[in-house]
Structure 1
């Protein structure tokens, strides 16, 4: 299958493929929590990891459902290259989450952790999941909501730049999309996760390392003048906690079922 043209999201995550696993502590924590929320009696003969990255949760799903057929899908070729090398076993597909190249009613589980926030049309993602799920199948996802990177956004504003942090869907947006999807909502909640870093350079290095520096809207990244950069540093320092500079991630967890 020909791989799609590289869009900016795919380019950013492909560039981060080699550093991703070493920087992805939050991603592992969130994904493992999402796995714990799967229905206990769920029977899985086939599963899809949507936005699989380097395949960490493909490996987890293989261990949980050892007899099932697994597929990992990602839009970033660089991520898939790492996944095939580090975690062989599942089929790996390079495709868009809104146009999954799998047959209708072919999956019992669609799992997606911290990937769907980069998809502009969440309603289309839910519709596609509904198409490929078998009746009774489950979509389990985690994603990011508004309030994510709150501290960094405040600091950029103090530096005179307001469009350098992505804006994510609100919790109400997620609630409404799920309610309109035709899928039954079993669980939907938002939980904050806070990480701490020694300084601003460590924050930005981490965002580059996980591919999250890509801006979906707003200003293009560029150099700040010395005075603006000092305002950025000063503003973030006002938020320092004993553990370091905080970075807040507002994580939405959702578990939906396709009606039988």
Structure 2
């Protein structure tokens, strides 16, 4: 499990979709980190031609143009849990041909088996609750010989926020992401062949603690689903900002991410 919410899976997914619905209009303006990761992941995808491409967790559709121009797919499937993200993407990329926008859950894909040449996903699967089941589902929809190329957050991301909260209260204030080794074990356990993998530390810098937190909220990434979550009192928030400010360096306020980059392939049938 990436996280252990105290509410049902269905309720978690509804709340997650609402969070990204609200972020749909501000996402691109605050997605500097997401763009860095996406650009690197696009360079890793191994194909120069594909018939069917699935952009899993397409968000505002930042990957769609690059995938279309590089691969010239017959069908480009942009799938997301957030209907508002899909509206934004479809309006922004209305001139893209043969692109279909599908509102669905990555862990229960409404696709036939053996249909995709490529499943591409940048910073989306960390929101899934069962990594092994997810990768088995991706194995199912990818054709034999097809590829799964993704990036996701790993354990150790946003430690600056955890450090600032330590000593103030004992609650979780960030998601507990899966460890890199566990992630890779889940990929291979699904039946996919691991072609390449890397774990990268990507630091970002901000003018203030408030702007660092703001950057998370505006892309929908501050969501933590738990009945234990409570409204933070003004005094606790002030204490948190004080502790976070103490981590300032000459570059500014740090917010760092551990990002896994993975290229996997479904084996050809023998």
CA deviation string 1:80-126 (max 9, x = no partner)? 11011111231000000011111111110000000000001111111
- 2:44 aligns with 37
- 2:69 aligns with 63
Contact 2:48 2:70 in 1 (8 A): no
- 2:246 aligns with 238
- 1:16 aligns with 23
Shift of 1:221: 4.6
CA deviation string 1:184-214 (max 9, x = no partner)? 0001111011111111211121111000111
Q: Distance in 1 between matches of 2:210 and 2:186?
A: 36
CA deviation string 1:156-209 (max 9, x = no partner)? 123224311111001121121012111100011110111111112111211110
- 1:82 aligns with 88
Unaligned runs of 5+ in 1: none
1:256 equivalenced with 2:246 (yes/no)? no
- 2:161 aligns with 152
Distance 1:146 1:216, change over 3 A: farther
- 2:118 aligns with 109
Alignment counterpart, residue 200 of structure 1, candidates 183, 189, 209: 209
Shift of 1:43: 3.8
Paired residues in the alignment total: 255
Q: Distance in 1 between matches of 2:73 and 2:175?
A: 39
Provide the TM-score with structure 2 as the length reference.
0.90
Contact 1:163 1:218 in 2 (8 A): no
Unaligned runs of 5+ in 2: 1-9
Matches for 1:85-234 after TM superposition, within 5 Å: 85-88=91-94, 89=96, 90-217=99-226, 219-226=228-235, 228-234=236-242
Q: Distance in 1 between matches of 2:93 and 2:141?
A: 24
Shift of 1:217: 4.2
DSSP 3-state at the match of 1:256:
strand
- 2:56 aligns with 50
Q: Distance in 2 between matches of 1:251 and 1:215?
A: 19
Contact 2:187 2:194 in 1 (8 A): yes
Shift of 1:42: 5.3
